[in-house]
Chain A
Amino acid sequence: MGEYLTLLFATIFVNNMVLSRFLGLCPFMGVSKKLEPAIGMGLATAFVLTLASVCSYLANEYLLQPFGLEYLKTVTFILVIAVIVQGTEMVLRKTSPLLHSVLGIYLPLITTNCAVLGIALLNVQEDNNFVRSALYGFGGATGFTLVMVLFASIRERLELADVPESFRGAPIALMTAGLMSVAFMGFAGMA
């Protein structure tokens, strides 16, 4: 259990997906202008990412490797992800139409989120097993959500700040991400 908690802590804070692994930056920059969408995107990503992490692990371990097809992992993973996204969309629409209409818009965006593919590939690289894959995905996604929500809340505050003209918009957002990354270095060495 301790090992799992450490893994979770490490993926959420120490090796934060966005701030130290550089994954999922496009939605991080794109869907963080307002708080609510950021929460929605974060939750949706958490779901898909964890599932994708597990499924691509299974696909790799029990389909590709036995047949020596590792070189197809990128293609396979991206298809797995696309299918998971679509499946989630369908299930969500059936079980909770309202959530679907409020949060469902973020689902298709996730397919091109390199975090999802990145985690799947890192799983292979780090030789994770089933449980570790799940935790790896979950932790990474939680870290992603956390950072994105914080980032969005700060960006909302920046909207009215007297930022120098050239820095308005993307530059100050990136600068903020950089400074957040400095702050997150405080977790260094903790796992």
Chain B
Amino acid sequence: MSDNVYGDIVTNGLWTNNQALVALLGLCPLLAVSSTAINGLGLGVATMATLTLTNLIVASIRRWILQEIRIPMFVIIIACVVTAIELLMNAHLHDLYRVLGIFVPLIVTNCAIIGRAEAFASKNNVVRSTLDGLVMGLGFALVLVFLGIIREILGYGTIFRGAELMLGPWASDLTITLASNYDGLLLAILPPGAFMALAVIIALKNKIDRVQQRRSANAVSVAVPLQSSRA
């Protein structure tokens, strides 16, 4: 099975145990900064970096951490990593930093990060932990971007508006305008829209999972007498 470990880590992070869709963790930044795709991308990348780095650090020093105080240790490590990222963003991606506001430092309290440190990094080797951090972060970032795209399309009729915030002035051409004289469904970019869009995304994921489950159940039922599969 060991060759499958990495594969498992990847599917786990991206789909089965996606931090945002399944574990419902880190919802605050998810909802707060996903009004456009670029904002989502910005915070997603920052979160991903934090997850990867903390997992890496925790995994590499896990032997020296005293069991009783591991949680405070994790907190300190995470806080330091996030602050470093915050400072760097402030220095080099200032515009984006301003848009994301306090949600950059708030990555500290993104429960997913300490959760991965405790549940994975403190028990696995450096390579696996780093991969786990990367993939979990990626899973989170993808949802963030996807949510951003949906809300942006509904709310503004564009995709990747404000790309220059992240990538510099040249990137303003990246903005795709889908409907030029679109009024915009304001709801989508207001707080209620964030909740509702995420609700619909999770419902979609549930639906996909269920369809898949039914399909595999059907496949199995050829061999095994059918069991009523009422979940």
Chain A in direct contact with chain B (Cβ < 8 angstroms): yes
Q: Which residues of A contact B (CB under 8 A)?
A: 19-26, 29-30, 71-75, 78-79, 82, 111-114, 116-118, 121-122, 125, 165-175, 177-179, 181-182, 185
B-chain residues with CB within 8 Å of residue A125 when the two chains form the complex:
102
Name B's A-contacting residues (CB within 8 A).
24-29, 31-32, 72, 75-76, 79-80, 82-83, 86-87, 102, 105-106, 108-111, 114, 190-196, 198-200, 202-204, 206-207, 210
CB-CB nearest in chain B for A121: B102
- Where chain B touches its partner, the secondary structure class is helix
Closest-CB distance, B194 to chain A (whole angstroms): 7
* Given A29-B24, A178-B199: A114 in contact with B80 (beta carbons within 8 A): no
Measured CA separation A167–B24 after assembly (Å): 15
Contact present for A167 and B199 (CB under 8 Å)? yes
Known: A22-B28, A121-B106, A185-B192. A170 touches B202 (CB 8 A): yes
The answer to whether B192 touches A178, judged by C-beta atoms less than 8 angstroms apart, is: yes
With A171-B199, A172-B199 in contact, do A74 and B105 touch (Cβ < 8 Å)?
yes
Total A-B pairs in contact (CB under 8 Å)? 120
**Residue on B nearest A30 in the bound complex, by CB:** B24
B28 A118 Cβ-Cβ under 8 A: yes
Closest to A178 in B: B195
Contact B28–A181 (Cβ < 8 Å): no
Chain A residues near B194: list those with CB within 8 A: 22, 178
By CB atoms of chain B within 10 A, which of A21, A72, A73, A166 has the most?
A166
How distant is the Cα of A72 from the Cα of B105 in the complex, in angstroms? 11
| C-alpha gap A170/B198 in the complex (Å) | 10
CA of A95 to CA of B193, assembled, Å: 44
Complex: A5 Cα to B108 Cα, angstroms:
32
Is B108's CB under 8 angstroms from A117's CB?
yes
On whether the beta carbons of B196 and A26 are closer than 8 Å, the reply is: no
Contact between A174 and B198 (Cβ–Cβ < 8 Å)?
A: yes
A30-B24, A78-B75 given as contacts; is B111 within 8 A of A167 (CB)? no
**Least Cβ–Cβ distance between A49 and chain B, in angstroms:** 13
